[in-house]
Every structure is written in C-alpha cells, then in structure tokens.
C-alpha cells in the first residue's frame, strides 16, 4: 500500500507533495515525484509566487510554474496553484509602489486573474497567511492600503478567471482550536455571507514533533461545518537535530495523527506534504537547528513517518 492509494481508498481526492524547479534536475528525485501510487498532486513551492510571476508590473513570467505543471501532467497529477496573494516573496514594486486603494485593488485583481487564467482547472491558494496568531488581520501592504477589501477582490477575480478553479484561503497555526482558527472561521463566514467565492480552507500544518494539537480533528470539522472544503496543504513535522530513534518514532505518530484527523472529516479532501524528502525540505534553512521533517530522509529512504501515514489512512 502506498500514500495516494490509501488516501483514495479513504475517499480523498489525492495525497500530494510540494516540489520546486531546481529539484527537477535530480533524476531519482523526479522518478519518485512521478510515482502516482504515492502522489496524485503537486504544489510548486516557489515558482508561482508573486515575485516570480509578476516581478515587474504587468510583466508575467510563467516558465517556472509551467515546468511544474508539465511535470504534473506527465503523470495526471493535480496541481495546487500557490499562491495569488501573500505578503512574503512579493514583488518589491508592489510593496514600494505607494499605490492608493483602488489602484492596489486593481493590481490584486489583475494578478489573480492572470495567474488563474493561465493555469486553468487548478486548485488555488488565493490568499496565503492573512491572519496573525492572535486572530487579528496581518498588516501587509494589502491590508494597510485596502483593509480587507483585497480579500474579496482576489477571490472574485479568481472565480471570474476560471469558474472551475477551487479557491482556498490558506494559513499556518490553524491546525488546532484557538484564536487564529476562530478568526479564520469568522473571516470565511463573513466573506461567504458577502458572496465572496471561498471554496476551501487550507491548513498548512508545519508542525513540530510531539506538537500535533489534540484538537486538530475537531478543528478541521469546525472548518468543514462552514460548508467549505478543507485540505492539509503543507504538512511537515520538524525536530531538533540530531535525529534520534525516539524522535523518529514520535514523528511517525504525529504524521499518523494528522492523517487520522483528515480521514475522519469527510470534507477534508486531501493531504500535501511540503516536499517528500529531507534533502529538499525548507526547514533547515528557516528554523536553525531543526530538520528531518519529511517522510523520506535525505537519501530518499522511507522513514518511520512514511509508515505513520500508511497507518493513518
């Protein structure tokens, strides 16, 4: 049994993984990336972000994203577009442009519309990380200029660009119940009440060994109860290095717990790991002293975590 096979037997649409353009030159990596028994969905980790897709105003570059889509299409894998609007990896012309409200809204609309139109038939993270951990709105250039108006503008432009695209709002630290998850529920309720086309909530799930919130299942259920889809979009479970057998055992349990939470919630449609191998994980470069967050090690050998996912399904 393998990851996607079991996810689909559990009634899910896919098990998937993030990947990135430089990784596609590694032939043994690409062989496993195209193993559809494990992966039926890919997310580009960087190449569809604003700084890469519209580095100058009105000048779009799709080559990086196109390469990921081509890789996915070889194996009939679904693609999650990531992302339309985010405060990070944003082009400096946006942050430094001093645009007024209506200009910035039209910039957001044009960006989302152009992306979603170019990449049709995809799932999209339309908004990424718009909330703070305390549940207040993040003070990005978008919020500071337009208030929350950019949110509806982004979703509406995306819907218009491709009525078939599945449109998500995605965030971290919304795995368990808490202020940020409550804020997400309120925000999605509010947006949908205004007719904003939000189809799903993406739960990133960048977790720490031993730190899966005990309320994860209940929280996913509360999201789903809004009438939207839920997806685990960026799962990894990092640890303080060095790796020990005890940490790997706990990590296995943690992966299993996350999978069981998604499995138990019918509207949780799929799980994506934020790359499948420790060789290409973003964790060591971002969290000093931490790593080994993926289900395969840096030599592409399956870790106990892989079995945890199997057992979870």
CA dist., res. 30 & res. 25, Å (int): 8
Rounded Cα–Cα distance for residues 158 and 138 (Å): 21
Neighbours of 255 (CB within 10 A): 30
Q: Which residues are bridge partners to 79 per DSSP? A: 42
Question: How far apart are CB 231 and ligand XIL at their closest, in Å?
Answer: 13
Name the residues that contact ligand XIL, by CB under 6 A.
Answer: 45-46, 128, 204, 234, 282
In which residue are the tokens 């069981």 written?
A: 260
CB 270 within 8 A of CB 214: no
Active site residues: 234
Closest by CA position to 78, among listed 12, 15, 19: 15
In 3-state terms, what secondary structure has residue 37? coil
We find the least distance from the C-beta atom of residue 193 to ligand XIL, in angstroms, to be 26
In angstroms, the Cα distances linking 102 to 107, 121, 142, 147, 308 are 9, 29, 11, 12, 49
Distance of closest approach, residue 154 Cβ to ligand XIL, in angstroms: 15
Phi, psi angles (nearest 5°) of residue 122: -105, 170
Compute how many other C-beta atoms are within 10 angstroms of the C-beta atom of residue 256.
Answer: 20
> Which residue is closest to ligand XIL by CB?
282
Question: Is residue 175 a contact partner of residue 237, using CB atoms and an 8 Å limit?
Answer: no
Three-class DSSP category at 234: strand
Q: Write down the least CB distance from residue 304 to ligand XIL, Å.
A: 23
The answer to whether 105 touches 153, Cβ cutoff 8 Å, is: yes
Neighbouring C-beta atoms of residue 137, cutoff 10 Å: 16
Q: Do residues 161 and 60 lie in contact, with contact meaning Cβ atoms separated by under 8 Å?
A: no
Q: How far is the CB of 128 from ligand XIL (least distance, A)?
A: 5
Shortest Å distance, C-beta 11 to ligand XIL: 26
Task: Give the tokens for residue 263.
Answer: 């499995």
d(CA 161, CA 184): 25
């Amino acid at each position: 049994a393998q990851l996607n096979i079991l996810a689909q037997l559990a009634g899910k649409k896919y098990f998937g993984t993030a990947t990135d353009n430089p990784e596609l030159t590694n032939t043994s990596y690409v062989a496993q990336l195209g193993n559809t028994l494990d992966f039926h969905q890919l997310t580009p980790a960087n190449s569809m972000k604003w700084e890469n897709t519209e580095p100058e105003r009105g000048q779009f570059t799709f080559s990086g994203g196109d390469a990921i889509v081509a890789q996915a299409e070889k194996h009939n894998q679904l693609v999650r577009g990531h992302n339309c609007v985010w405060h990070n990896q944003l082009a400096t012309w946006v942050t430094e442009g001093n645009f007024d409200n209506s200009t910035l809204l039209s910039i957001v609309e044009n960006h989302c519309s152009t992306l979603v139109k170019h990449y049709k038939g995809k799932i999209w993270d339309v908004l990424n990380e718009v909330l703070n951990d305390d549940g207040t709105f993040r003070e990005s250039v978008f919020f500071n200029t337009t208030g929350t108006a950019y949110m509806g503008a982004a979703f509406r432009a995306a819907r218009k660009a491709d009525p078939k695209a599945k449109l998500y709002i995605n965030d971290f630290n919304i795995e368990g119940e808490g202020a940020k998850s409550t804020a997400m529920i309120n925000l999605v309720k509010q947006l949908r009440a205004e007719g904003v086309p939000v189809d799903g909530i993406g739960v990133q799930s960048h977790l720490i060994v031993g730190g899966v919130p005990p309320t994860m299942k209940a929280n996913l259920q509360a999201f789903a109860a809004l009438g939207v889809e839920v997806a685990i979009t960026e799962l990894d479970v990092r640890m303080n290095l060095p790796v020990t057998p005890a940490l790997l055992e706990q990590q296995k349990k943690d992966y299993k717990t996350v999978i069981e939470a998604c499995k138990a919630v019918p509207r949780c449609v799929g799980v994506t790991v934020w790359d499948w191998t420790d060789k290409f994980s973003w964790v060591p470069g971002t969290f000093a002293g931490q790593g080994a967050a993926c289900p395969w090690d840096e030599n592409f050998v399956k870790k106990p975590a892989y079995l945890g996912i199997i057992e979870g399904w």
